[in-house]
Structure 1
Amino acid sequence: MPNLVVISTTAVPEYVRGSLSRWLTEPAPGLYVGSISAKVRDHLWHQVSAAVDEGTAVCVYPANNEQRYIVETAGQQRRRIIDYDGLQLIALDPIHHPHAQNEQLPF
């Protein structure tokens, strides 16, 4: 049974965008939405996560859990998914600047 899938991409190769647009609608640049089967979703996500290169990608799809959805990520992102007793929470990593080790924050 098809379910709504949302995939967001940033700075991915053009061929990845082409693969996604074959199955999903792109209502905004890098944002793909559609109703596809779990098998197609898993296949697409495998392709995207393997080819993300220096970009990033996020996939959100329905699941039979407390939140009613699952979030998966690929690539280097500042946001990490943390599993907390079955709930997916988002943790922000600090921004790392080359000179940040020696700098003091003004507050």
Structure 2
Amino acid sequence: MVVLVLTACPAGLRGHLTRWLLEVSPGVFIGEITARVRERMWLRVLELAKDGRAIMVYSADSEQGLSYRVHRHDWEPVDFDGVWLMRRPEEVDATPAMRPGWSSVGRMRRARRGR
């Protein structure tokens, strides 16, 4: 079994993949293909994806029963004592520092100072 997820890839690549896999949602492909076809298909994804991202998860003879391939993705597969896990990128403080006075309490303080 193969699951392939594409993000920001050309439409031509999506059309090319429908030869072997079923597109169940935009950019999400699933199917049962041989290892040789899977490897050649992945090379084609690398060739045509350009600036897009791709993750392929496929069945393998491992403890988890699956393996990963990643192209230009933020999350990366990491071997953790024989078990493959997906490591998220470190989160940079996503909340920008708020200016004083944005909350209702801040507005009330400003109003009291203005009297």
TM-score by length of 1: 0.80
Question: In structure 1, how many angstroms separate the alpha carbons of the residues matched to 2:92 and 2:12?
Answer: 30
SS in 1 for 2:39: helix
Letter in 2 for 1:94: E
Which structure has more strand as a fraction of its residues? 1
1:24-69 residue CA offsets vs partner (Å, 9 max, x unmatched): 1101000001111111111101110232222110101111110000
Q: Which one scores higher on RCO, CA 8 angstroms, separation ≥ 6?
A: 1
In the alignment, structure 2 segments of 5+ residues that lack a partner are 98-115
Selected match of 2:77 from 76, 81, 87: 81
Which residue in 1 is equivalent to 2:89? Answer: 93
Q: How many aligned residue pairs are there?
A: 97
Moved more, 24-33 or 85-94: 85-94
CA-based RMSD of the aligned residues comes to 2.1
SS in 2 for 1:15: helix
Structure with larger Rg: 2
Selected match of 1:67 from 64, 79, 82: 64
Seen in structure 2, the aligned counterparts of structure 1 residues 19 and 96 have a Cα distance that, compared at 3 Å, is: farther
Which structure has more helix as a fraction of its residues? 2
Shift of 1:96: 5.6
Question: In structure 2, how many angstroms separate the alpha carbons of the residues matched to 1:19 and 1:86?
Answer: 34
Question: In structure 2, how many angstroms separate the alpha carbons of the residues matched to 1:22 and 1:96?
Answer: 40
- The answer as to 2:22 corresponding to 1:34 is no
Question: In structure 2, how many angstroms separate the alpha carbons of the residues matched to 1:50 and 1:73?
Answer: 13
Shift of 1:81: 0.8
Question: In structure 1, how many angstroms separate the alpha carbons of the residues matched to 2:43 and 2:92?
Answer: 29
Question: In structure 2, how many angstroms separate the alpha carbons of the residues matched to 1:45 and 1:95?
Answer: 29
Which structure 1 residue ranges, 4+ long, deviate > 6 Å from structure 2? none
Which residue in 2 is equivalent to 1:56? Answer: 53
Which residue in 2 is equivalent to 1:14? Answer: 11
